[in-house]
């Protein structure tokens, strides 16, 4: 825990010393506004923890960590335009506070800045290649997500591929970049990448479950928000798979209703169908499969157990399995 | 001329063999739609000509050439969203043919692809750094241009800085990348960069002049379009500087009138003021200063005159001084 807190502080200090000012201010203010908001700093932390596992130089690893955080925030700024989202982390989005043009441009500049940061340390070309590949994958994932909003029949395989591209690959790449800058072997870099994919998939499925089945006060979002928004999560996909013809038709109908409908009533009815079909348990089963894959991948990294403990602790903290 | 045609053909072949397909198709179709349109390929050509000057390996230089073309087209796709432009090169823009979300995302993917391409040849890290720097500068230039639309008083110095960032730096970087991949000296790379800046500034001023003073059929745009759109070009800025109080007030008023006003009448009146103030000649004088700077920068490149002839011929072709 001490190590984790120290790395979080080191990243915060590094970010605070990064010059995010420039002209014209209309371009740079949204960048510092976004990057300096408090956040989990999940991707930088994975990068720094992977680097630390292999005894890498932390000063070098802070650059890809900054690249990852800058890149991640670029994706949020552009996603918020597409979602017309007014709020993010309880604050106005760039799209809302300024406008769509400024959100496009400051996002573009952040994507370029992310490459500049990735190129700074030794092995910069390799890190930038990893960033380039994941950037393209995330665009693919976001486009799939946009498609799913209008497409009728999405398969479970397509849904899993979408969340792999939209969420898991960036966590995996964060670990990959940390291990790369530390000079880990190809094989170990791949094991950590696999660990990141499995962990990312598990996190996303857990998010889907928590949206409906968590104590609101803990999770901080409205209960059943995904159902109210007709979001086709894994719970919904799994329910369609397990449902009788009658339940499937009813679910499909409920997921066409717009906000003017009684939201609470709709959420309750959907949840009743989910519970009847034991959807939560089915999704938890898939989550456990990913957790097992993650454990196997981390076990395969050719390092003594002692070296892996900080990353393992951090992953457990994130999943809520460790307080 | 043979050399120029050959390089154009080589780039066309290289682009035709680049795999621009991928899934989901909603992301990739706008990319191939945009990149495979015929265009001048100005930036790839500058890159290949600079590489050729220093006897570089053309197969290596085709990568930064492709990076530049992909990058340039990314900027057009995002600019067209901001301008709500329906047409580009006589074809529907991505924004118009698909929608703003797809234009944002496929543009983002192209920016990442540009870095991937720049990283391919030897000296990839250096090329990617050059691309990153120019990408940020172009965002700054575009933001300045957006600001100028609403700001009242823009100085000539600010206008020149805007066109430097929006247009000239990418031409300069194209030459820089070609010289870099060929292994030219730091000093020669800088001279070519300076040549590109001066050439880019001259081209932009020429564009401003041609918009009003060219034969419509040759230039292919409507006569006086910049005046009709209230675009604050260098002609307008120079006119304000040279004008009497009365003329200045009249010009400023005319440049607030919207399209419902009689367009032809407005263009004629503005042109009459410009002619009376000899604005065209004043702008041509500034253009000639940039041309002189360009000639000096190219002369400073430490190579025999023979080696510079293709780039010089190409620049003359572009400026219309050679047919």
Chain B residues in contact with A23 (beta carbon < 8 A): 140
- DSSP bridge partners of A91: A88
In Å, the largest CA–CA distance within chain B is 60
DSSP state of A257: -
Question: Does B250 score more than 70 pLDDT?
Answer: yes
Confidence of residue B218 (pLDDT cuts 50, 70, 90): low
Nearest to B83 by CA among B93, B71, B91, B74: B93
A19 at B interface, C-beta within 8 A: no
pTM of the model: 0.95
pLDDT for position A229: 85
Inform me whether the pLDDT recorded for B215 exceeds 90. no
CA distance A140 to chain B (A): 6
pLDDT of residue A257: 87
State pLDDT tens for residues B174-207: 999 999 999 999 999 999 999 999 999 999 999 9
pLDDT along chain A (323 residues), means of 10: 94 97 96 93 98 98 98 98 92 97 98 98 98 98 92 87 97 98 98 98 94 69 83 92 95 85 88 96 96 97 97 90 57
Determine if the peptide bond prior to A301 is cis (ω within 30°). no
Rounded to whole angstroms, the Cα distance separating B284 from B238 reads 11
Q: Enumerate the domain spans of chain A.
A: 2-319
Pairs across A and B, CB distance < 8 A: 127
pLDDT at B222 over 80: no
Is B100 a residue whose pLDDT tops 60? Answer: yes
Closest by Cα among A245, A242, A244 to A234: A242
Percent of chain B exceeding pLDDT 70 equals 96
- Strands (E) located in A10-97: 87-88, 91-92
DSSP A242: H
Average pLDDT, rounded, for chain B? 94
Mean pLDDT of B92-113: 97
Cross-strand partners of B91 = B88
Cross-chain residue pair B111–A111, CB shorter than 8 Å: yes
Give contacts of A63 with chain B, Cβ < 8 Å: none
Q: Are B77 and B95 in contact (CB under 8 A)?
A: yes
The reply to whether CATH 1.10.10.350 applies to domain B2-319 is no
Q: What is the ipTM of this complex?
A: 0.95
Sequence-distant (6+) residues with CB within 8 A of B55 are B182
C-alpha span between A205 and A156 (Å, rounded): 12
Q: Is residue A181 within 8 angstroms of chain B, CB to CB?
A: no
B108, A106: Cβ pair inside 8 Å? no
Closest chain A residue to B105 measured between Cα atoms? A139
> pLDDT band for position B153 (50/70/90)?
confident
Measured between CB atoms, does A128 come within 8 Å of chain B? yes
CA distances from B10 to A312, A321, B14, B65, B128 (A): 52, 58, 6, 11, 22
What is the mean pLDDT of the segment spanning B316-322?
A: 79
Supply the pLDDT for residue A217.
Answer: 52
Residue B220's pLDDT band, with cuts at 50, 70 and 90, is low
**Which pLDDT score, from 0 to 100, does residue B221 have?**
63
Q: Which chain A residues have a beta carbon less than 8 Å from that of B26?
A: 143, 146-147
Touching check for A151 and chain B: CB below 8 Å?
no
Q: Does B142 touch chain A (CB under 8 A)?
A: yes
């Amino acid at each position: 825990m001490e190590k984790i807190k120290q790395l979080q502080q080191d990243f915060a200090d590094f970010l605070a010393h990064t010059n995010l000012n420039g002209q014209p201010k209309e371009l740079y203010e949204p960048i510092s506004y976004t990057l300096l908001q408090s956040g989990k700093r999940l991707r930088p932390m994975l990068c720094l923890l992977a680097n630390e596992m292999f005894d890498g130089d932390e000063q070098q690893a802070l650059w890809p960590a900054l690249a990852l955080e800058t890149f991640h925030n670029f994706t949020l700024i552009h996603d918020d335009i597409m979602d017309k989202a007014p709020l993010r982390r309880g604050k106005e989005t760039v799209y809302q506070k300024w406008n769509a043009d400024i959100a496009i441009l400051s996002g573009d500049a952040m994507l370029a800045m992310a490459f500049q940061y990735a190129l700074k340390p030794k092995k910069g070309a390799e890190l930038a290649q990893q960033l380039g590949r994941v950037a393209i994958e995330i665009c693919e994932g976001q486009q799939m997500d946009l498609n799913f909003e209008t497409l009728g029949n999405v398969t479970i395989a397509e849904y899993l591929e979408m969340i792999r591209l939209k969420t898991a690959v960036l966590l995996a790449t964060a670990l990959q970049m940390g291990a790369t800058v530390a000079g880990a072997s190809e094989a170990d870099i791949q094991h950590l990448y696999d660990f990141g994919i499995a962990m990312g998939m598990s996190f996303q499925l857990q998010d889907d479950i928590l949206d409906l089945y968590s104590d609101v006060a803990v999770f901080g979002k409205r209960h059943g928000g995904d159902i109210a928004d007709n979001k086709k999560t894994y719970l919904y996909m799994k329910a369609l798979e397990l449902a009788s013809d009658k339940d499937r038709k009813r679910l499909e109908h409920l997921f066409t209703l717009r906000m003017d409908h009684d939201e609470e009533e709709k959420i309750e009815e959907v949840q009743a169908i989910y519970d009847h079909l034991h959807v939560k348990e089915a999704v938890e089963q898939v989550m456990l499969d990913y957790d097992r894959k993650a454990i196997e991948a981390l076990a395969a990294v050719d390092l003594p157990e002692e070296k892996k403990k900080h990353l393992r602790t951090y992953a457990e903290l994130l999943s809520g399995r460790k307080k």
